A and B are shown apart, each in its own frame.
Chain A
Amino acid sequence: MPVAASAIYFLNLRGDVLINRLYRDDVGGNMVDAFRMHIMQTKELGTCPVRQIGGCSFFYMRISNVYIVIVVSSNANVACAFKFVVEAVALFKSYFGGAFDEDAIRNNFVLIYELLDEIMDFGYPQNLSPEILKLYITQEGVRSPFSSKPSDRPVPNATLQVTGAVGWRREGLVYKKNEVFLDIVESVNLLMSSKGSVLRCDVTGKILMKCFLSGMPDLKLGLNDKIGLEKESQLKSRPTKSGKTIELDDVTFHQCVNLTRFNSEKTVSFVPPDGEFELMKYRITEGVNLPFRVLPTIKELGRTRMEVNVKVKSVFGAKMFALGVVIKIPVPKQTAKTSFQVTSGRAKYNAAIDCLVWKIRKFPGQTEPTLSAEVELISTMAEKKSWTRPPIQMEFQVPMFTASGLRVRFLKVWEKSGYNTVEWVRYITKAGSYEIRC
């Protein structure tokens, strides 16, 4: 197993150390000064997450207003280090109840030290699963042995959990109402030419689950993906009913998924951890349904005027609607005055990002609102460099729509006691980097 860290530092944006932990003594305590000097105070910041200064490697990552810096002096596994940081942040979030920022760190010094001790040992990552860590690292104080009331819950056996067959789930959970929530969240990445032809397009999706189930349930998930359907049709020796099958690329599963069964039967079956987790991730490059089409026309009229016309067409079902649609149309830096006409939503000029920002709160399917704007530019000293025309960017969320067309065919829950469960399934498509050249 490779070393991931010799030391970890949490810095605020000014570069002050909020908290740090040295795991090995092969790096000096003042290493973070080097980071401050050579990365934070230069333009390098944010250009490359891995830097080498004076024989030490610095891996850093910014999460809200905190820089997390890992310092290693040996040849470390960079991917492992970053994965460790991401997991650690998820762990902290689950402990702090959502937010991870400077204030949260300041309020939880003791807890963070305790966790840092636990999740890494001599530079080697350890168990980062919140479910298990919560068993023995608790936020409550130590109970006094003279306390009159004995604990009503038995002290959970952490060792058994860590070493047992189902490390991610505690035994003996009881819920009154057994519920499963399943969300398919997809984000669409698109680069389209001004003529409307797709240059690059893919969808990254993940299936998030939240389980409140008693006992040790066994779940089985069926999707309309190609492999699963083919296997099924083989088993049942009849052709599939629905025409569309989805081909998933790069599927990764949560550790709870039984891979031997997936390999043999092509079904996703698993004993879920308690609470929230990410069941699987996938990517799709073929047959993407784009939710929006954008038709821009931008004309430069002389040195000081521009005319911008943008038509956005929603191509999902008429009954559905998109939320929080933001279209950012870039304009030159020397923009001085703008005037707009929009058929829906609101538009304004944002000088800080040099864009016309057009916001539509609720965008029904099968409509095509338009924006037309006149832009006046100020004359400048520097001889006019031709404007580079950056692409139009779009943000949106479309509930109950999947760009990939992925559907849950079934979600079966099986448990010894045979209770009834309620399953909730949601779909949502978001914009990743959705860009249209103009």
Chain B
Amino acid sequence: MAMHGMRGLSVFISDIRNCQNKEQERLRVDKELGNVRTRFKNEKGLTPYEKKKYVWKMLYIYMLGYDVDFGHMEAVSLISAPKYPEKQVGYIVTSCLLNENHDFLRVAINSVRNDIIGRNETFQCLALTMVGNIGGREFAESLAPDVQKLLLSSSCRPLVRKKAALCLLRLFRKNPDVVNVDGWADRMAQLLDERDLGVLTSSMSLLVALVSNNHEAYWTCLPKCVKILERLARNQDVPQEYTYYGIPSPWLQVKTMRALQYFPSIEDPNTRRTLFEVLQRILMGTDVVKNVNKNNASHAVLFEALALVMHLDAEKEMMSQCVALLGKFVAVREPNIRYLGLENMTRMLMVTDVQEVIKRHQVQIIASLKDPDISIRRRALDLLYGMCDVTNAKDIVEELLQYLSSADFAMREELSLKAAILAEKFAPDLSWYVDVILQLIDKAGDFISDDIWFRVVQFVINNDDLQPYAAAKVKEYLHKPAVHETMVKVSAYILGEYSHLLARRPGCSPKEIFSILHEKLPTVSTTTIPILLSAYAKILMHTQPPDQELQNQIWAIFTKYESCIDAEIQQRAVEYFALSRKGAALMDILAEMPKFPERQSSLIKKAEDAEVDTAEQSAIKLRAQQQTSNALVVTDQRPANGAPPPVPVGQLSLVKVPSMITTEDRNLTVQASSQDNGTLSKVDPQPPSADLLGDLLGPLAIEGPPGATVPSEHNAVSGLEGAAEAVDGSAIVPVEVETNTVKPIGNIAERFHALCLKDSGVLYEDPYIQIGIKAEWRAHHGRLVLFLGNKNTAPLISVQALILPPGHLKMELSLVPETIPPRAQVQCPLEVVNLRPSRDVAVLDYSYKFGANMVNVKLRLPATLNKFLQPIPVSAEEFFPQWRSLSGPPLKLQEVVRGVRPMPLSEMANLLNSFRLMISPGLDPNPNNLVVCTTFYSENTHAILCLVRIETDPADRTQLRMTLASGDPTLTFELKEFIKEQLVSIPMVPRAPAAAPPAPPAAQLTPQIPANDPAALLAGLL
């Protein structure tokens, strides 16, 4: 070896090895570097021997990890030395010390080229090795053609050609744009005819790189590859030195099959047949033996063959043969082989049709789940997850659940997530799904992400028949001694919502449910307490008539948490306490959760994200896994309540949604919905801020449960009517298109309510236009005049007004001019005929264009029920016979109204009077009662006498009993609802500035400027 005789070098190395510590070593190295520097600087120059010696030292120091930033020139100059020892040092040191970006390499290129084109094979090898190791761009540019020539030259020995092929491979990988491979297909094909297996192996590596770049050009190589494979498989003409444990050159086999996988398919039937024969032979001939090395080699070949089989979409027979083989592997004791078996089976899953075959091995795979090796367990879990479908879901999920309690912690999260997903994807029935998830939470509560329990709650809410089952189930779990917090969350939520469905069962009275839940309160964290509080409020709400003891208990808890440091808990406690004092009105406020709009399961999404990470990078990856997520949930869903009905006033639903989701539900919705779909997102942006209470007391929130007041609500096809009712109920007008940039002046809702009482006033105003109304009512006829006033100096164009009348009104609007001149006012008379009693209102769809702004406004017209009333005085003699003659429903209706805005009796009388309901004093002996008479006019019925008796309780002004009687059942009902709305809502005065109506458009309202008194402005207009 060249080292012989280099005493200085060996002394230095032994010095370094004898160093006691790093510091000594550093001192020795620094000393030596100083020495080397001095030598290199010597004017007399160095003998080649000395140069070689110091360059070796430099390399040694560099390999020890010290910076060597000189002496490169010397190293490079050694490359051009004539003798092998020096040249070798030069090449080795250059390839170690320099990388492709060093400028010094340029100096070396010429000498390297001389060596490559020279005739000395040893030097050629040295040069090719260095070029292959560095592989820089400049090398590629100047040397690639020479290397290519060398590779093809027939005069070279195989040794040189092998190195040339590998060198070219490296150059091509580093700089595919520089190395010119055009027209190389033929040459590659020619190379593949080579008999020498060494050169073939190197060329095959090169071919793999070329084909992966562009397979189109190398079609001609395909049959040759198959031929090589055939040669190897038949073990023809394979020299002894290329046989490894009796396997003919496994490396070349693997590489050839890898190259074949880059071709999309094999068209030629002969080639295809030959290839399949070879593959068949490989599949048949591989077995598990004792010798590890032999196993490694034969399995490498086998797995590449499997990949190729999958790639080529072989016949089903062959596939099942593969699976059978893998099944054998899975059953082997040796963990490495089992791992490979499981992994490849998971890959096989991507190929269709084999699932059935894989299922045969289910038992073994499940057994692997208990393997001591965690990597095998993971693979088995992946495989189980992948092979799960409707038929075996139940078994697999149950197996996973069983395994969960013994699984190690590192896997539990993944395991529980996967179990949850499988349960959701393939659940045969929903109660099973609920069972599974509850078991999951029970067994691995710590590893259950929020998504999982949100999902189960969504399911329960969206499926009515599931609700009692789920409630009963969670109650069972709560009886267990140690309950995980997630379980407490789920059960609090479900019991809060649905425990009343169980009320008849033994041990499920509200009181008992409450005590079960309340037991858990001390053990839970602050995130769970709010859910518990909500559950208490709901339980309280469902306890009708109120159980005094329970009420006091719950109130005590609310009071206790009113001063809680956590803002969320405190707010809930305060709000629920205030709400729960409202008595039966609570029922309306804390209505049941609406159904969730269906969307993609966040769990499945999560799992899909995770799958991307573990995805394999191989040729078969090209075929995407086509698993349709047939979550059965999606199928039988009714359109969710919040979905907009297909009517012109579609946007009304925006108002509808928030009104149904009461405060605490709204918070939960936000929690539970990680992704919002369109409708809900309208709701969410409202921060559940301090004015929530204001919201609740405001007009919006007080609304009957949709099912109770409006029976037709649920069938969304009721269209216009349903939508109009929605308007009516929600006592809020501003249904503007969200794109409106123009802000109305003043509160539209207030203006509407004022106009319900008066006959003239401003209906709407914004910076450009003011709409005033003047109305005359005579029996069932009405005449409204709309005053459209342009407030600006520019004309309003594209003015359009459209009346959307409800079914009971016949309305005719005279023509509205398209343009309103500057500062002008246009009058549009509107004829109204009342056909029958109804509380629905007409909507004016009004739009205009100002400049580039298109403004579209939808306004309710004050053609309300009370406008067709005519007050008449009634004496006692007339009243009582009438009252008695109208007996019992549907002509006579009685209702206890709760949540009435407290007001003195006189004020209530005034309010009624302004609705044209005439108070007849002295008819009732009790001074706290009011008796009201009026006549109702419509085209169908003409005049009908209506009699109303309102009994108020001086002790509690928030409730009253109302009895109505009239000759028409519809009228009785409608009038009752109308009066009720007027009494419970607070139409006129906003209670506090904070009580802004919560619908998004209205939330932008600017407070009305005092100077802009609507009446004054209108007076000016008129």
Question: Which A positions have Cβ atoms within 8 angstroms of B?
Answer: 13-14, 334-337, 349-354, 376, 378-382
Whether the pair A378, B30 counts as a contact (CB closer than 8 A) is: no
- Chain B residues positioned under 8 Å from A13 (CB to CB): 20-21
Interface size on B, residues (CB 8 A): 22
Q: Does B104 contact A (CB under 8 A)?
A: yes
Least CB separation from B21: chain A residue = A13
A334 and B37 in contact (CB under 8 A), knowing A354-B30, A381-B102?
yes
A335 touches B34 (CB 8 A): yes
With A336-B40, A336-B41: A349-B69 Cβ-Cβ less than 8 Å: no
Flag if B31 contacts A352 (CB, 8 Å): yes
B245 interfacial by beta-carbon distance below 8 Å: no
Are B35 and A351 in contact, CB atoms less than 8 angstroms apart? yes
B37:A335 contact, CB within 8 angstroms = yes
| B27: Cβ under 8 A from any A Cβ | yes
A352–B70 Cα gap in the complex (Å)?
A: 17
Known interface pairs A336-B41, A337-B41, A378-B41. Does A351 touch B69 (Cβ–Cβ under 8 Å)? no
**CB-CB < 8 A to A382: which residues of B?**
69
Interface: B366 (CB within 8 A)? no
* Residues on A with beta carbons closer than 8 Å to the beta carbon of B626: none
Residue B544 CB within 8 A of the other chain? no
The chain B residue sitting closest to A383, CB to CB, is B69
Cα distance A337–B37 when bound, in Å?
A: 8
Cα–Cα, bound, A380→B31 (Å): 17
What 7 A-B pairs are tightest by C-beta distance, nearest first?
A: A351-B34, A336-B41, A336-B37, A380-B69, A352-B27, A352-B30, A382-B69
For B40, list chain A residues within 8 Å (CB): 336, 378
Shortest distance in angstroms between A282's beta carbon and chain B's nearest beta carbon? 34
Q: Which residues of A contact B42 (CB under 8 A)?
A: 337
Smallest Cβ distance from B719 to chain A, in angstroms?
Answer: 70
B72 close to chain A: CB less than 8 A: yes
Q: Is the interface of A mostly helix, strand, loop or mixed?
A: loop
**Residue from A334, A349, A352 with most neighbouring chain B CB atoms (10 Å):** A352
Residues of B within 8 Å of A380, CB to CB, are: 69-70
Q: List residues of chain B with CB within 8 A of the CB of A376.
A: 41
In whole Å, how far is B216's beta carbon from the nearest beta carbon of chain A?
A: 44
Within 8 A of A (CB), among B42-100: 42, 69-72
Judged by a CB distance under 8 angstroms, whether B33 is at the interface is yes
> Nearest CB to that of B27 among chain A residues?
A352
Max chain B Cβ within 10 angstroms of own Cβ: one of A13, A337, A382: A337
Q: Is B120 an interface residue (CB 8 A)?
A: no
Which residues of chain A are within 8 angstroms of B38 by Cβ–Cβ distance?
A: 336-337
B residues whose Cβ falls under 8 Å from a Cβ of A: 20-21, 26-28, 30-35, 37-38, 40-42, 69-72, 102, 104
- Closest CB-CB distance, B45 to chain A, in whole Å? 14
Q: Could you tell me the distance between the alpha carbons of A381 and B20 in the complex, rounded to whole angstroms?
A: 31
What is the minimal beta-carbon distance from B19 to any residue of chain A, in angstroms?
11
Contacts of A334 in B (CB 8 A): 37, 69-70
Given A13-B21, A336-B37, A351 and B102 touching (CB < 8 A)? Answer: no
Residues of A within 8 A of B41 (CB): 336-337, 376, 378
Shortest distance from the beta carbon of A351 to any chain B beta carbon, whole Å: 2
A352 to B27, CA, bound (A): 5
Q: Is the CB of B70 within 8 A of A349?
A: no
B27 and A381: CB pair below 8 A?
A: no
Within the assembled complex, what's the spacing in Å between the Cα atoms of A13 and B34?
27
Assembled-state Cα–Cα distance A14/B19 (Å): 11
The smallest beta-carbon distance between A175 and chain B, in angstroms, is 45
B26 partner residues in chain A, CB cutoff 8 A:
352
Of B34, B71, B72, B102, the residue contacting A352 (CB under 8 A) is B34
Write 7 A-B pairs (CB below 8 A) sorted by A numbering: A13-B20, A14-B20, A334-B70, A351-B31, A351-B32, A352-B31, A376-B41
**B37 contacts across to A, CB distance below 8 A:** 334-337, 351, 378
State how many angstroms separate the Cβ of A303 from the closest Cβ of chain B: 12
Interface pair B70/A378, CB less than 8 Å apart: yes
The residue on A at minimum CB distance from B97 is: A381
- Extra 16 A-B pairs, beta carbons < 8 Å, given A337-B42, A352-B27, A352-B31: A13-B21, A335-B34, A336-B34, A336-B37, A336-B38, A337-B38, A351-B30, A351-B31, A351-B32, A351-B34, A352-B28, A378-B37, A379-B70, A380-B69, A381-B102, A381-B104
Residue on A nearest B43 in the bound complex, by CB: A337
Residue ID in chain A nearest B39 by CB atoms: A336
Within the complex, the shortest CB–CB distance from B718 to chain A, in Å, comes to 69
CA A378 to CA B58, docked complex, whole Å: 14
Cα(A335)–Cα(B40), bound, Å: 11
CB distance from A15 to the nearest CB of B (A): 10
Given contacts A13-B20, A336-B40, A376-B41, contact A349 B72 (CB under 8 A): no
The CA of A354 and the CA of B37, in the complex, are separated in Å by: 12
Q: Tell me the minimal C-beta distance from B70 to chain A in angstroms.
A: 5
Interfacial chain B residues near A381, Cβ < 8 Å: 69-70, 72, 102, 104
Roughly how many angstroms separate A334 CA and B41 CA in the complex, as a whole number? 11
A352, B28: Cα distance in complex, Å: 7
A351 and B32 CA atoms in complex are apart in Å by 8
Would you call B34 and A349 a contact (CB within 8 A)? yes
* Chain B: minimal CB distance from A319 (Å): 40
Among B26, B30, B37, max chain A CB count under 10 A is at B37
Q: Say how far A124's CB is from chain B's closest CB, in angstroms.
A: 34
Question: Would you call A351 and B33 a contact (CB within 8 A)?
Answer: yes
Residue of B nearest to A381 (CB): B69
- Rounded to whole angstroms, the CA-CA distance of A13 and B24 in the bound complex is 12
For the complex, what is the distance from the CA of A379 to the CA of B102, rounded to whole Å?
Answer: 15
- Minimum distance in angstroms from B389 CB to a CB of chain A: 49
Distance from A11 Cβ to chain B, minimum over Cβ atoms (Å): 12
Q: Which residue on chain B has the smallest CB distance to residue A354?
A: B30
Closest to B26 in A: A352
Q: Report chain A residues within 8 Å CB of B27.
A: 352
Contacts of A337 in B (CB 8 A): 37-38, 41-42
Closest-CB distance, A290 to chain B (whole angstroms): 31
Taken together as a complex, chains A and B put the C-alpha atoms of A122 and B71 apart, in Å, by 60
Bound CA span A381–B104, Å: 9
Q: Which B residues are CB-close (under 8 A) to A350?
A: 34
Nearest Cβ in chain A — how far from B50, in angstroms? 15
Q: In the complex, how many angstroms separate the beta carbon of A271 from the nearest chain B beta carbon?
A: 45
| Chain A residues positioned under 8 Å from B70 (CB to CB) | 334, 378-381
Closest to B32 in A: A351
Q: Which of B33, B34, B72 has the most CB of A within 10 A?
A: B34
Nearest opposing residue in chain A for B20, CB measure: A13
Q: Which residues of B contact A335 (CB under 8 A)?
A: 34, 37
Rounded to whole angstroms, the CA-CA distance of A13 and B26 in the bound complex is 15
What distance in Å separates the Cβ of B533 from its nearest Cβ neighbour in chain A? 39
Nearest Cβ distance between residue A69 and chain B, in whole angstroms? 17
